[in-house]
Structure formats: C-alpha cells, structure tokens
Structure 1
C-alpha cells in the first residue's frame, strides 16, 4: 500500500501545473438581452481575417503575452498597460509558402508612454502555418 501511495502523492501536486486556458466570460442574461445582433453584418469598419492568418496571430500573441502571465506586485502603470493584449496592434502577411510574418507593435495611443519611445516592446514572428510552430522571433 505504501509503495502505491507515495508515488501517487508525488504526482498529484504536478497535476496543478496542467491548467487549461480560461474560457471567455459571458455577460449575464439580463445584459445579453439588451444587445441585438443585426441580420446584415455591418460593412463599415469590418475586418475580414483569413483563418490561417488568425491562427498565426493567436500563436504569436500567446508566445508574446501568455494568458497565464503574472505581473509583479510592483508593476508600473506602463508595464501593466504593456501586458494587456489590447495595447497592441498587429500586422500579418505571408512571407513565403507556408510562412506568415506576424508583427506585434505597441499602440502609443493606448498606453501613456510620455515622450520617450518604447524601444523594448513588440516583436515580429515567423510562423510555420503547416506545422503551427514559431520559426523565428525578432524582438
């Protein structure tokens, strides 16, 4: 019995390391009832993103800003801002057959950076869209 119990007790804490990404939050039914989705999708401001490009962007963004990233307790407001995905703009384009470039760029209109440029933020990724892996990163 002890031979089975000891390995089991050693393995159980490791299970905590295998976490699924969080599911998106949904509004309560009362709030959802106030929103009407139109039958005709708006054309003004619409962005059409190919599924391959979308997946390449998701892969690069997950590497750049992982969903489970923890901020230090003494994080500055600028550091906090630069650790939110909505603080960036993304450009994506095919580079060669099977490779998509994804550039993640800080949006200066979102984070109050003052007059100093942000030199150490952002990155460009080369993503293999056949094997779904990151080939290279340029910071």
Structure 2
C-alpha cells in the first residue's frame, strides 16, 4: 500500500444501515404480533422485513473506501479497484435532495481521462461526513 502514498481518508460507503433497520423492524413486528388480534399478518410482515434486512446485509455489502495521496481505492468482496490520481480528470458532485428534508446530499462522481464515470456511494452535506467532504474537495 506504500505505492499509493499517505492515507488521507478511510471509511465505508453507504449501505449497511438499511439492513440493520429492516432486521430490527422485523424483530419488533414479530414480537409485537403477540400483543394484537391479527397475529399472523404482523408475523408475516416481520418475517418479510427480516428477510429484506438479511438480503441487504449479506448481498448488498458496503465497499471499503480509501483515499491516498496518489490513488483512490474501492474494495468489495476482496476485489480491489484502484484509480490513480493521474487518471482522474476532475470530480463532479451529484446533488440528491430527499423529500421533506431541507438538507441536500452530494455524492462525488470521478470523471476519468477516458470519460468514464465512477460514482462513490458516500454522501456528504452540511451536517454529515465533513472530514470526507474536505478530503474529496481538496483531492485534485
């Protein structure tokens, strides 16, 4: 890893939180079914939530993201994609506004010299991931 230079940022992309939420909702629904009249319906909903949560945790795993002085490295399931700094033409930001939220999220998109685009699935805004924002904005 010394070929890439000094480590500027290390983290994971966004994905794992949804799996935990679905599993937690499934467990709560399954347990709550014992206290209402329509037990079977809530049990089925709980099992469906738990299955969706397990699917998100097992198959939609988050990527590891490392930003070095000379490269950006994305790792998923032991496969590593390294993008040297020389191959990055510029960085654009994809703006995503969530309904009923005053905060706008931005996702960085790496534009390579051969006009290919690589989306980094790590959001930042005025509240969250400020360290990531500083590193990615000052990268080039």
Which has the bigger relative contact order, CA under 8 A and spacing at least 6? 2
Question: When the two structures are superposed, what TM-score results if normalisation uses the length of structure 2?
Answer: 0.25
More strand by share: 2
More helix by share: 2
Question: When the two structures are superposed, what TM-score results if normalisation uses the length of structure 1?
Answer: 0.25
Larger Rg: 1
